[in-house]
Structure formats: C-alpha cells, structure tokens
Structure 1
Amino acid sequence: MAQNSTQSAASTSSGNASQASFVQGSAWITAGSIFSRILGAVYIMAWLPMIGDAQTGNLANALFSKGYNIYSLFLMISTAGIPGAIAKQVAHYNTLNEYRVGRRLFHTGIKLMAILGVVSAGLMFFGAPLYAQSAAEIPVYRSLSVAVLIIPFLSIFRGYFQGFAEMAPSAVSQFIEQLARVAYMLGATFVIMQIQHGTYQQAVVQSTFAAFIGAIFGILALFWFYLRQRGKLEHLVAQSNDNLQVTTKELVMDIIHQSVPFILLGSGITIFQLIDQYSFFKMLPKFFLVTKKEMEIYFAIFNFNSNKLVMIVISFASAMAVAAIPLLSAAHARNDKRDMAQQITNVLQLFLIIMVPASFGVAAVAEPLYTLFYGHDALGISVLQVNSFTAIILGLFTVLAAVLQGLYQNNVAMRYLIVGIVTKLVMQYPMIAFFNIYGPMVATAIGMLTTSLLMLVSLYRLYHFKLQQTFRRMLGIVFFSLVMFFLTGITVNLVGMVLPVERKIFSAVILIIAVAVGVIVYGYLILKTRLADRIVGPRMAGLRRRLHIK
C-alpha cells in the first residue's frame, strides 16, 4: 500500500513537473512567435502606403503571397524536417543521459543541412520559370532562394536548443530575425518607391529578399545564446553515460527516418495554400465572370491579407506544438504512459483555452482590425471573419500532428494528412462553385477537420487521454468565448457609432477598446470559475488573488 502511494505521488509529481515545463516552454515559444507574427503583420501598415493605392497594394500582396507559398514549401524540403527531428531525438537521448550522442546528432544534422540547403536553393532559383504563373513571379522566387541556403542552419540550431527544452533562444532569435527582416523590407521599399519611383514588383522582390537578412541576424542571436551556455552544455556532455554506441551512418538514418514525417506534416498548411494558388485562378472563372486583376485581388484578400492576421492566432498552436514534442518524446523514452496521456490532455486543453477565444476575438473585431492593416473593405472584413474560425481547425491540426510525432506515431499522422489533402482536392471545385471567394477556405476547413478528427480518435485509442474532461472544459471555453464574442462585437458597434471605423486612426482606437473588453470578460470568466487554474496550473490562483477575484 505504501509503495503504491509512493508511486502515485511520484507519478503525480512527474505529471505536475511535465505540465509546468510544458506551460513554461509554451510561454517562451508563444511569446517569441506572437511578437514575431505581430511584427510581421504590423509592417503592413507602413509597407502598403509606400506601395500605392489599395488596388496596387492587393496586387503586391498577391505576388508576395505566391512567393512565400513556394518558398515555404522549398524551405520545408531544404530542412527536410530535420530541425524538428533533431529536437525530438536530442530530447530522447538527453532523457537517457546520452548527451554526447545528442551532440553528434546535431553535428551530423548540420552537414545534412548544408547539402540540402544548396540543392533546394538551386532548384528554387533555376526552376523558377517552371512553376511561375507569370513573369513577375520569377525574380520573387529567386530572391527567396538565397534565404533557403542559410535558414536550414538557423532552424537546426533552434532544434538543438529545443531538444534541451530551452525555448528562450528560439523565441528571442525568432523575434530578432523578424525585426531585421522588417527593417530591411521597409527601408528597401522606401528607397525603391519613394526615392527611385520604381514599381511594386521591384519592391516585392527586395521585400522577399529580406528573409535572408533576417536569417543572418537570427543566427547571430543563437550564437550569442550558445556562447553563454557553452559551459553548461559541455558539462552535460562530460557527464554523459556513453553506454550507447551509435555510428554516424545510424545517426543519419535516424535523422532521415524521423525527418520525413516532419516534411509532410510541417508543410500541411502550405500544401493547402498551394492547392488554392494553382486551382483558384482556373476554377473561379468557370462559375463567375471575373477579370484576371479581380482574381489577383481576391487571392490577395483570402490567401495573404486575412491569412497574415489569422496566422497570429495559429502561432499560438505552433508554439505549443514546438514545446510539446520534446516533452512527449521524453515521456515516450521513459515508457511513462500515464505522463504521455497527461501531456496529451495538457496540450489539448491549453490549446482550447487560448486558441478558441483568440479566434472568436478576431472575428468580433474583424472590421477595425482589417481596416487598420489594409483599409476598410467589406469583402476583406467578411473573409477575415470566416477565416478566423478556420484558424481553430488549422491550429488543432498543428498541435495534433506534433503530438503524434512526439509519440513516434509518424505514419499515422502522415496517413491522416493525406486523407485531408485528398478531401481538400475533392471539395475545392464544388466549394468554389457554391461559395465563390470563400470556397477555398471552406474546403480547407473540411479537409483539415477530417484529418484532425482522425488524429484525435487515434490518440484516444492508443493513450486514453482524458477525453470526457477535455470535452467538458471545451464546452465551458466555447460558452465563455461566445459571451466574449457578443460583448466585444457590441462594443465595436457602439464605439463605431461615435468614431468612424472607416478611418485607420479611429479603427485603432475602436480595436484597443474592444480587445480590452474581450480580454477582461474572458479573463474574468475563466478565473472566476477556476477553469484557468485547472488547465494552466496553480499560478492562476495567485493572479486571481492579485486581481481580487474570489
């Protein structure tokens, strides 16, 4: 009896430690990702006015979006999922106190990165005319190919730190990378458009080349962290058990085996966007009378404008996914099934308590939010509202795919994503026919929801996480989010009666007031009902006391 009590206490302690580690890691990654995403969206407010009028701005955004969709795919190929695989495997070996193997894995990964980076950059540069739909896209693709050379190294460096559950270096380097990218982008665009009086195509080429500049600064930031922690890392390697004898060939095969799923799963959202990029322009004219320029503007609105803002919300899920993989991998290495089940529960519930209200909130403030960034446009506002709800499904896929990878269920995750992609392809044509510009988003939601539901069922069958508890708490979160949604929407309408939302400066004021109302309402509800305590942890009790919420 005493032994069972001791084991139970140890298991509970392990679960609490895992939850605390996950929450802390998520906080760092979320902060870095959110600040980077916000900065990556805020630059639009300075960039678009330099580009020209609203129509020219949308044409520039369409070109920018096409370039980044292709770039994202090549980036995933060039990294071959290796950074995620490195984080996962380093965490695995560290748990076994085989730090020396983890370091050799990192060094081997760097060599693979160099080869893949050169090959992918070459394919992207020289193959640009093959996948470009217009001559203007070719220089954009080629400007981004330079970044493909060095970003793989940046990614694997982050993966190594994440394998030690060190999320701060990744978060800080991510923010610095984005800061440098935006600074170069705005500076180059100002020179081209305001001084040289060039074209928006030239500005887009330099704006995409900014990815290379940002990557350099991101690498420098990681080197600074590495030099600061070098002593600690060397000490851990010196204390390594050295019981595992792993050859370089075995390490390479290990990386390849683990990285292939990261390619497909990490490219999931990008693949869906590429389906839109190469099908939307062919399918829409079959049902609606539209010009080429109108289609470019429509594409910019749903594939770039709204996505730019929605990805801020999805970055919450991405951050949790990055933090979850090493912890799940460590639990798997210990064969601690109870901790694995608890980790899955933690991930899902933390995802829900953050992602659901964030998506509802974006929908509620869509009008002032879209106006602030792109100008007042009824179609753009409507698309953003629809896309904000789609973000919940995209975020859920991101988290579930990471969980399955962390638990070495790679084949399952890939199989279900392929089902989702096929569903997207089948639904794309009829959804565009029925819903016009909203069609691609609806098809994406159906495809991703199919994948996510299959993943959830698989996880429950394998690990029996707390599904009923998660469902009950989800109902509470959705109810509180709906209350917040309606009160925030009412606030937007009431303040909009006094201040004209069509003007950017006033839309900013309305947005600040509405967001404050939403945060206060939702925050009060989850603290008052103790829902935050049960999901995030005991730290919420201290916050509640400081806010005098009984």
Structure 2
Amino acid sequence: MVKKDSLIKGTIILAAAALVARFLGLFQRIPLDYMMDKEGGIYFGAANNIYLLLLIIATGGIPSAISRMISERYAIGRPGEAQRIYRAALWFGAAAGVVIATLMFVLAPQIAYIMDVPDASTSIRAIAPALLLFPVIAMMRGYFQGRQMMMAGGISQIVEQVARVLVAVGLALLVLTWGWGDRWIAAAATFGSVFGSIGAFAVMLLYARRLRRMDAKDAKTGLAAGKQASARIQAPQEKLPYRSIYKEMFSISIPIVIAAMTVQFMYNFDTSLFLRLTSGFYTSYDAAKQAYDWLGMRAQALAGIPPILAIALSTSIIPVITSAYAARNVKEVQRQTALVMRIVVFTGVPAALALTVAAVSVTGLIFDGAGGSGVVAALTVGTIFQITMMTSSSVLFGLGKTRVPMKSTIIGLVIKVLLSLALAPFMGVYGLILASTLCFITIASLNLRVIKKEVAFSVLGTRWIGYLLTIAISAGAGWATDMACRSLMDALPGKAMYFLSAAATGIVSLGLYVLLLVLLRVVTAEDARQFPGPLRKLLSPIIRIAARSNANSQ
C-alpha cells in the first residue's frame, strides 16, 4: 500500500534518492572524463545544460504547482477537483514534451552555434528525445508529492539514473572502440538520458496503478469521504473546467519556474558565453577551453552534491506548509518553517564546507587528476547560499507568496549578468562563480526578509556565535588535514593518496562539526528530538555526556 509521508520522512526519501542519483551521475562522468578530451567534455556539458534548462521551461514549474494545488484540495476535502487537476497536468505535459523535444532536435545546430560550440549539435539532438516523456513524468511526480507520497518520485529518480548511466557508458564505450571521436562519444553518452526517461516513466505508471487501487479500496470500505477518495465518486458539480485549472496552474507555476531555473540559467549562461566573456583573461584559447571543461564537467557536477537535501526539502515542504496554511494552522506553519530552516543550517552548510576544503582530494579521486580543484572549491562554497535560496523560496510558495521569490530571482539574475560581464574579463572562471554566489546571497536575503514578516520563527536564536565558531573550527581542521595527508602520503599511488586524504578530511571536519555543535550548545536535546531517528541516535550520547559535564562544572 502507498502511504502518506511526513515532512521528515518525505525529505529523507527524496534526499536519499537524489544522493544516489547524484553519485550515479558522477559515476557516469568518471569514465567519460577518461574517454574524451576536453572538447568532448564541452560537447557533453553543453548538451546537458541546455537540456536541463529546456526541461524546466517545458514543465513550467507545474510539478510544484500541482503539488500545492493537490495538497490544498485534499486538505479542504475536494479530492474530485484534485483528480481533474492531475488529468489536466498530464495533458499539458504530453503536449509540452512533443513541442519542446521537436524544437530542440530541429534547432540543435542554431543552439550549438549560439553556445559557440557548433560540434555539440549532435549531442543536443541525441538528448532531445528524452524530453518527450520527462514533462509527463514531472507532472506525475508533482501529483504524488501533493499526496505527500515521496517514494514514487524517489524510486523513479534512481531507476532513471541507473538506466541512463548504464546505457550512456555502454554506448560511449562502443563508439570509442569504433574510433568515431569525441563528437560521437559525447552524443552516445547524452543519448543515455532517453533510456533513463523510459525507466522513470515505467516506475511512475506502477505507482499510479497502486494508488488507484488504494483509493478504490478506501471507497469500497466507506472511508472515501475522509481519506482522499478517487475522482469517480465525486458529484459532477465538483468538476472544474480545464480553463480554470490551467489559469490557476499557470498563475502559480510561472513564478515558480522563474525561481526554479535560477541555477540552471546561471550554469547555461556561464557555459554558453564562457569563451566570449573570458577571452581577455586567458592567455590562449586552449587555456580557456580547459577552464571551460573544468567548470562544466567537474565543478558543476560536484557542486550539485551539497544542495541535495535542500532540493528534497524544497520539494517536500511545499505540500506540508500549504496544507497547514490552508487549514489556518498558524502554529504548525511556524513549526514546520523553523524545522526546515534548521535542518538546512545543520546539514547543508557542513556538507558544502567539507567538500570545499577537500576539493583537491575529491577532484583527484573522481576525475583524471586534480586539475580544476580550485574551480570546484569556489563553486561548491557558494552552494551554502544556494541552499538557503532554494529552501526559502519553497517556504514562500507554500505560504502562497509565489510572486516574492519570482521578484527576488529576477533581481538576483540581473545582478548575476551584470557582475559576470564586469568580472569575467578580469577574473576568468572565478569572476563568473563570484557573480553566481552574490546572486544566491541576494535572492536568499530578499526571501528571508519577507518570510520573517509573515511567520514568526527562530532558527538558532542566540546560538549563532557558537554555530559560526563550529563552522570555522571544523572547516579549518578539515583543510589542515587535507593538506597534511597529501603531503605525508605523497609517495602513494595518486588515487590511493586522494582517497585516504578525502576520507580523513571528511572524518575530521564532519566529526568535529557534530561534536562542537553539542559542546558549544548549538544543538540542544529539544532540537535532537525533532531530528530523524539515525541522527538522534548519533547525537544523543554526545548530548548526554555534555549535559553531565555541564552539571558537574556547576
């Protein structure tokens, strides 16, 4: 049976699925990094980035809109309207998939020319068919999220990545043995996304069938009125016209898509205009292409790891806050808002910092050498503010303040473009990354300012000084550990040295972080009780020891 998930459980499911998917995505790039030269990496990165941007445009933020609309209808006892909304979304997803996939395939040469990588047109065409199914899959995921059933989306995401990686690497190896060159290897790798979409769609169909059976069973046992009934038992007058549904859907989704495309827009902006904007900084065209490859193939891939939990939270928090807000449960809205921001602070920030201080070892371990580790570190540290931006936007969406994140995003993107034009000619790739980080800070600050006016909540209160000390000490210790390990183990084979150094850095920085959170009283026993079970078990012994020490000292 498909069961409803709480905020914590739903977040854990989505975060675990996203983590598995992200590492599978990294696994795909490791052999590709060895198979292709920097030109192949540029083709692959260009096709992937334009595909992801067009996917966001094709779905129009509608999955999040569906999630909110579905959860709101079930909260006020209108499941029939919820089913009509779902069907309307599926029709839109099917139409959008056909249109956007066709346009991407036909216009691939023009898109590649604009991006200043003409040979990437083959990769762009290879990945275009994946857009046929993904808009429909996105609509189905939004529906399940609105029903607060996150497992369907999580499993489909994992299956999608497994199918994509296996096909992509297999086809790329086959093309490599034929000696067709980087252009066709990159195209073979991007074609794996088509098989990923087929796998994900099959999983969503399976869960949709299970959910229909559950609703039918509830209806037969007389529980339909209070337990999310199917649309078949609703009175005809409850049906909404599709025109009204689309009007509401787009009024919600347009602000959402503008906010959702922030990161992908910046990645596309950086890769599309990289060679033009940085031509005055790098001494040669080859040096510029090398930095381009490091940004697209290495830094953007690794920088996607720290925001994984924030992405999961951003997805699962919308229906939870929407339901509480629709029921006028102010205390629950305050509690959930504080909880989600606290989770972001306690988990997202250390993940970004640990990866930043171990950037050299992690890059050298995963890829062919540690080249570009400085780019990885610079882009990764900025994800701290990206995480805050994403979560705060989702809280505002749940509160019905959809236009606020849209306005904040527009302001932030204007700052990104202007600063990129000003800094890239003098700082190269680091100028683009700095502009992105300042964009994140701007959007997050504007969002939090509005949230604090709407919802009275406290994340850490007076404990910020202790938290900042925790971050500074654990990050400094991690950086020193990484430097020391690479220096002491220099005689070992490269991969062994990088592995041991990355492992030691992670253990020291994250272990010290957890310990200092408790010793400096940043995390209290009350905070720990709200955490997931595994995290409670980890923190409880430390909290008990700290409590005894404090009692003895008094």
Specify the code of the residue in structure 2 equivalent to 1:395: I
**Deviations, residues 90-127 of structure 1 (Å, cap 9, x unaligned):** 11111112222212211111011111111111111112
Q: 1:232 aligns with which of 202, 214, 220?
A: 214
Residues 434 and 537 (structure 1), Cα distance of their counterparts in 2 relative to 1, 3 Å cut: farther
How far off its partner does 1:518 sit? 2.8
Residues 334 and 217 (structure 1), Cα distance of their counterparts in 2 relative to 1, 3 Å cut: same
How far off its partner does 1:151 sit? 0.6
**Deviations, residues 183-210 of structure 1 (Å, cap 9, x unaligned):** 11111111111x2122121111111111
Partner of 1:509: 500
Equivalent residues of 1:328, 1:403 under 8 A apart: yes
Residues 180 and 245 (structure 1), Cα distance of their counterparts in 2 relative to 1, 3 Å cut: closer
In 2: Cα distance, 1:446 partner to 1:502 partner: 39
Partner of 1:495: 485
The 10-residue stretch of structure 1 (525-534 or 311-320) with the greater mean CA deviation from structure 2: 525-534
How far off its partner does 1:533 sit? 4.5
Q: 1:307 aligns with which of 300, 316, 326?
A: 300
How far off its partner does 1:236 sit? 5.5
Partner of 1:70: 50
Determine whether 1:219 maps to 2:201.
yes
Per the alignment, in what secondary structure is the counterpart of residue 305 of structure 2? helix
In 1: Cα distance, 2:94 partner to 2:118 partner: 30
In 2: Cα distance, 1:417 partner to 1:376 partner: 36
Equivalent residues of 2:45, 2:296 under 8 A apart: yes
In 1: Cα distance, 2:101 partner to 2:180 partner: 27
Specify the code of the residue in structure 2 equivalent to 1:317: A
Q: 1:32 aligns with which of 7, 17, 39?
A: 17
Residues 234 and 476 (structure 1), Cα distance of their counterparts in 2 relative to 1, 3 Å cut: farther
Partner of 1:88: 68
Equivalent residues of 1:352, 1:477 under 8 A apart: no
**Deviations, residues 349-406 of structure 1 (Å, cap 9, x unaligned):** 111111110111011211110101223335x111112112111111211112211112
Partner of 2:473: 483
Per the alignment, in what secondary structure is the counterpart of residue 460 of structure 2? helix
Equivalent residues of 2:104, 2:128 under 8 A apart: yes
In 2: Cα distance, 1:297 partner to 1:96 partner: 56
Equivalent residues of 1:80, 1:260 under 8 A apart: yes
Per the alignment, in what secondary structure is the counterpart of residue 77 of structure 2? coil
In 1: Cα distance, 2:452 partner to 2:102 partner: 43
Residues 541 and 203 (structure 1), Cα distance of their counterparts in 2 relative to 1, 3 Å cut: closer
Determine whether 1:281 maps to 2:275.
yes
**Paired residues, number:** 522
Partner of 1:10: none
Equivalent residues of 2:24, 2:162 under 8 A apart: yes
Q: 1:42 aligns with which of 20, 27, 30?
A: 27
Partner of 2:242: 248
Determine whether 1:208 maps to 2:201.
no
How far off its partner does 1:262 sit? 2.3
Compute the TM-score of the two structures, normalised by the length of structure 2: 0.89
Determine whether 1:139 maps to 2:122.
yes
Per the alignment, in what secondary structure is the counterpart of residue 279 of structure 2? helix
In 2: Cα distance, 1:300 partner to 1:32 partner: 27
Partner of 2:337: 344
Equivalent residues of 2:84, 2:240 under 8 A apart: no
Residues 530 and 230 (structure 1), Cα distance of their counterparts in 2 relative to 1, 3 Å cut: farther
Determine whether 1:161 maps to 2:155.
no
Partner of 1:9: none
Per the alignment, in what secondary structure is the counterpart of residue 285 of structure 1? coil
Residues 101 and 422 (structure 1), Cα distance of their counterparts in 2 relative to 1, 3 Å cut: same
How far off its partner does 1:305 sit? 0.9
Q: Going by fraction, where is helix more abundant, 1 or 2?
A: 1
Residues 409 and 265 (structure 1), Cα distance of their counterparts in 2 relative to 1, 3 Å cut: same
In 2: Cα distance, 1:81 partner to 1:122 partner: 20
Equivalent residues of 1:306, 1:384 under 8 A apart: yes
- In structure 1, list runs of 5 or more residues that go unmatched: 1-17
How far off its partner does 1:480 sit? 1.8
In 1: Cα distance, 2:8 partner to 2:474 partner: 24
Specify the code of the residue in structure 1 equivalent to 2:46: K
In 1: Cα distance, 2:380 partner to 2:465 partner: 19
Q: 1:263 aligns with which of 257, 282, 295?
A: 257
Residues 138 and 495 (structure 1), Cα distance of their counterparts in 2 relative to 1, 3 Å cut: same
Compute the TM-score of the two structures, normalised by the length of structure 1: 0.89
Determine whether 1:102 maps to 2:71.
no
The 10-residue stretch of structure 1 (341-350 or 314-323) with the greater mean CA deviation from structure 2: 341-350
Determine whether 1:111 maps to 2:91.
yes
Residues 534 and 473 (structure 1), Cα distance of their counterparts in 2 relative to 1, 3 Å cut: farther
In 2: Cα distance, 1:437 partner to 1:532 partner: 41
In 1: Cα distance, 2:540 partner to 2:308 partner: 30
Partner of 2:550: none
In 2: Cα distance, 1:108 partner to 1:151 partner: 16
In 2: Cα distance, 1:511 partner to 1:384 partner: 14
- In structure 2, list runs of 5 or more residues that go unmatched: 546-554
Equivalent residues of 1:61, 1:305 under 8 A apart: no
Equivalent residues of 1:353, 1:477 under 8 A apart: no
The 10-residue stretch of structure 1 (530-539 or 268-277) with the greater mean CA deviation from structure 2: 530-539
Determine whether 1:442 maps to 2:434.
yes
How far off its partner does 1:223 sit? 2.4
The 10-residue stretch of structure 1 (226-235 or 64-73) with the greater mean CA deviation from structure 2: 226-235
Determine whether 1:173 maps to 2:156.
yes
